[in-house]
A = this chain, B = another copy of it.
């Protein structure tokens, strides 16, 4: 590994994403990507008594599915990285408490999946054989925690996004035949003063822009190098903002750019206003859809930029703005 440019890390012997897995909720099951997910749930509780317990079960079973699909035994997993949106990341710690694998808790809000994938790749090139990463989110537990009780039936503004119920996970392995993780560009915190907790796309787009441009400058690549550039959960509004800002900076990404929050729900049939969001948005769309596209050689590379809003309910109530972050990872055949 080596640091190149301002903040990008280049892998000398790129680790392989051995396998991915994802489980999603009922709304995601009715979306256009349903056939790419490993399992779709019928309801938001999955037999549990609370949404938090359901979310823990989703991440736990996603990891079990992942290990089963990967063909390696749990004992062969050296380390894991996990995090989620619940206070103190309890979905991950409760979901993985029986895993018996050394555990690093991470918090990047909705950027957590790529943060985990990045750290897993660094461990794999450095000293580990197999490293697991996982993340989850849940519409009901997130609404309850960040906004209003669901029972209130509160009206959602047009800029609002719909937190994806589900989990995404991956195993990164030292030696393999790809898809390979070739570069990561960890992001800086960028806060442009947006204070509306119902306008996350706008709050996170400047962070995505900073990481996107830094990635291209550090690597010398152009947007056209990638078959797909995809952000985690900027949604319809944030996607427009990022496209426009990037063009102003001389990086035209309109041809090959999309957003997981735009892809996961049907705009007409499933009105979610500005699209999907949450750790599981990027996590499940990559683990389900894009990993499949790579494996079946429908695309040969992807720049995945997961975006996160690093606020909480208290900071919004105290009048604070929303710091954004975005981590980018380059995955190639």
Does A325 sit within 8 A of B, measured CB to CB?
A: yes
User: With A97-B323, A122-B122 given, is the CB distance from A107 to B128 under 8 Å?
Assistant: no
**The residue from B49, B94, B186, B323 contacting A79, defined by CB atoms under 8 A apart:** B186
In the bound complex, CA of A99 to CA of B7 (Å)? 14
Are A7 and B102 within 8 A (Cβ)?
Answer: yes
Are A7 and B310 within 8 A (Cβ)?
Answer: no
| Interface residues on chain A, size class | 35 or more
By a CB distance below 8 angstroms, the chain B residues around A78 are 3, 7
Does A292 sit within 8 A of B, measured CB to CB?
A: no
Shortest distance between the CB of A158 and any CB in chain B (Å): 25
By a CB distance below 8 angstroms, the chain B residues around A89 are 107, 310
From A16-24, A80-88, A163-171, the one touching the partner chain is: A80-88
Are A97 and B7 within 8 A (Cβ)?
Answer: no
Residue of B nearest to A314 (CB): B52
Does A273 sit within 8 A of B, measured CB to CB?
A: no
By a CB distance below 8 angstroms, the chain B residues around A90 are 310-312, 314-315
Residue of B nearest to A186 (CB): B102
Interface residues of A in 96-142 (CB under 8 A from B): 96-97, 99-109, 115, 119, 122-123, 125-128
Q: Can you list 11 A-B pairs with a CB-CB distance of less than 8 A? A: A3-B128, A7-B78, A53-B318, A87-B87, A87-B314, A88-B109, A88-B312, A90-B310, A93-B325, A99-B188, A103-B188
**What 7 A-B pairs are tightest by C-beta distance, nearest first?**
A93-B310, A88-B312, A105-B107, A102-B186, A87-B87, A97-B189, A1-B127
Residues of chain A touching chain B, judged by Cβ–Cβ distance below 8 Å, are 1-3, 7, 9, 49-50, 52-53, 78-79, 83, 85-90, 93-94, 96-97, 99-109, 115, 119, 122-123, 125-128, 186-189, 191, 308, 310-315, 318, 320, 323, 325
List 5 additional A-B contacts (Cβ < 8 Å) besides A93-B323, A104-B106.
Answer: A102-B187, A103-B187, A105-B308, A106-B106, A106-B107
